[in-house]
């Protein structure tokens, strides 16, 4: 869920902390999440969700300046009752940026050269979970299938796991690697049948 390492953006405050609520109806609904950046540096944010056709965020990309608060509107375009229980969430991916950056936030995230030039430190991620009234258990992400609370609560903020992939891309662009080997076939099992010459029987 999260990568290992020390959290660097430890002065970001979210309100509500980890949950928004919707009803199962076909109409559009929305909830407001505030993010306060108590650091003395700026951060850039982008939002994602588990089901983009249904969920969205305004603004989706934004720079949150030091010691300011940004409001985000998280909305649902309409939710009908489903056979299964929805397990949905929004994810904010956040990075510290260099001082005096005035590039549009969307351009920073969409263009790798821009992000490499302005990002500082590791990427972080914040989860905001969706609870449908009368459908989901409270804190369902910390419950088993019967609604019983697990002994250990899941964190909702940490280092983003895609930071590892970003590091590989950066290393490739910097020519730290000469080549990357990508296997095109799954490895064979040692117990697969062979003929007398050691070749696989298919």
* Residue ranges per structural domain of the chain: 2-173
Whether the CA torsion 190, 191, 197, 202 is positive or negative: it is negative
CA–CA gap between residue 74 and residue 57 (Å, rounded): 5
Total number of residues shown for the chain: 202
Question: What pLDDT score does 175 carry?
Answer: 43
The C-alpha torsion from 192 through 194 and 200 to 202, rounded to 10°, is: -80
CATH architecture of the domain covering 2-173: Sandwich (2.60)
Helix (H) or strand (E) holding 164: helix 163-173
CA–CA gap between residue 49 and residue 22 (Å, rounded): 15
CA–CA gap between residue 58 and residue 47 (Å, rounded): 9
Do 66 and 39 meet the contact criterion of CB atoms below 8 Å apart? yes
Helix (H) or strand (E) holding 21: strand 19-22
CA–CA gap between residue 115 and residue 187 (Å, rounded): 36
Tens of pLDDT along the chain (202 residues) come to 788 889 999 999 999 999 999 998 888 999 999 999 999 999 999 999 999 999 999 999 999 999 999 999 999 998 776 656 789 999 999 999 999 999 999 999 998 777 889 999 999 999 999 999 988 899 999 998 888 999 888 899 999 986 444 444 444 444 444 444 444 555 444 455 555 555 555 4
Strand duo 89-97 + 2-3: pairing: unpaired
């Amino acid at each position: 869920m999260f990568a290992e390492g020390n959290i660097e953006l430890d002065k970001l405050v979210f309100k509500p902390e980890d949950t928004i609520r919707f009803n199962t109806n076909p109409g559009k609904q929305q909830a407001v999440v505030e993010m306060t950046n108590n650091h003395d540096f700026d951060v850039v944010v982008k939002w994602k969700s588990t089901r983009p056709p249904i969920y969205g965020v305004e603004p989706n990309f934004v720079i949150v300046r030091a010691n300011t608060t940004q409001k985000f509107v998280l909305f649902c375009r309409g939710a009908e009752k489903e056979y299964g229980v929805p397990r949905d969430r929004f994810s904010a991916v956040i990075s510290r940026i260099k001082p005096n950056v005035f590039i549009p936030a969307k351009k920073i995230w969409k263009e790798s050269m821009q992000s490499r030039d302005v990002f500082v430190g590791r990427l972080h991620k914040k989860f905001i979970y969706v609870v449908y009234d009368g459908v989901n258990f409270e804190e369902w992400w910390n419950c088993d299938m019967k609604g019983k609370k697990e002994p250990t609560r899941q964190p909702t903020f940490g280092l983003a796991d895609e930071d590892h992939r970003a590091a590989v891309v950066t290393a490739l662009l910097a020519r730290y690697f000469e080549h990357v080997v990508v296997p095109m076939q799954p490895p064979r099992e040692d117990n697969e049948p062979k003929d007398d010459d050691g070749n696989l029987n298919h």
